[in-house]
Amino acid sequence: MSVQAHSYFQEQLNSEQRLAPLHVKRVEGYIQDHADEAITPVMLADLAGVSLRTLYAGFKGVSPMEYQRSIRLKRVKEDLCQQGANCSVTDIATRWGFGHMERFSQEYRRLFGEKPSETKRKS
């Protein structure tokens, strides 16, 4: 199931001081620390000590898995900028949990406005 992000999606992800319930902050921290690992919504709800419904409601407009994907995409971009010449886009994307390269490339371009290969070339 895919959820359409609202028009303030990017601002919400970028906001360091956004008000959120404690269980959401805990899950966000876990996702940031374990972005390269396989994470499921059930694992996150258990970690937070809330139901799936409460977990999703706390994220307001972006699902926990969309949040994880955005963190992973940012990490890919960081790696492309730092290690671009030493690693392929596929290697870096795979390291951050992206298995479907076409979908990854589309999501990357939607978030950053350029192809991953363009980011790599710039670095």
Name the residue with higher pLDDT: 12 or 61. 61
Q: Which residues contact 100 (CB under 8 A, 6 or more apart)?
A: none
pTM over 0.75: yes
Clarify whether residues 63 and 19 are in a common domain.
yes
Could you tell me if 49 and 76 lie in one domain?
A: no
**Residue of 68, 10, 67, 74 lying closest to 37 (CA atoms):** 68
Is the predicted pLDDT of residue 26 greater than 50, yes or no?
yes
Does residue 17 sit in the same domain as residue 38? yes
Q: Domain check: are 80 and 101 in the same one?
A: yes
Q: Is residue 26 part of a domain?
A: yes
Q: Which is nearest to 26 in space by CA: 48, 46, 51, 41? A: 48
Residue 3 lies in a domain: no
What is the band of 59 on the pLDDT scale with cuts at 50, 70, 90?
A: confident
Residues 21 and 37 in one domain: yes
CATH of the domain at 116: 1.10.10
What confidence category does residue 55 fall into, taking pLDDT thresholds of 50, 70 and 90?
very high
Rounded to whole angstroms, the Cα distance separating 44 from 41 reads 5
The boundaries of the domain holding residue 95 are: 72-122
Same domain as 18, residue 53: yes
Count the domains in the chain.
2
Question: What pLDDT, on a 0 to 100 scale, did the predictor assign at position 1?
Answer: 45
How confident is the model over 73-110, as pLDDT tens digits? 999 999 999 876 678 999 999 999 999 999 999 999 99
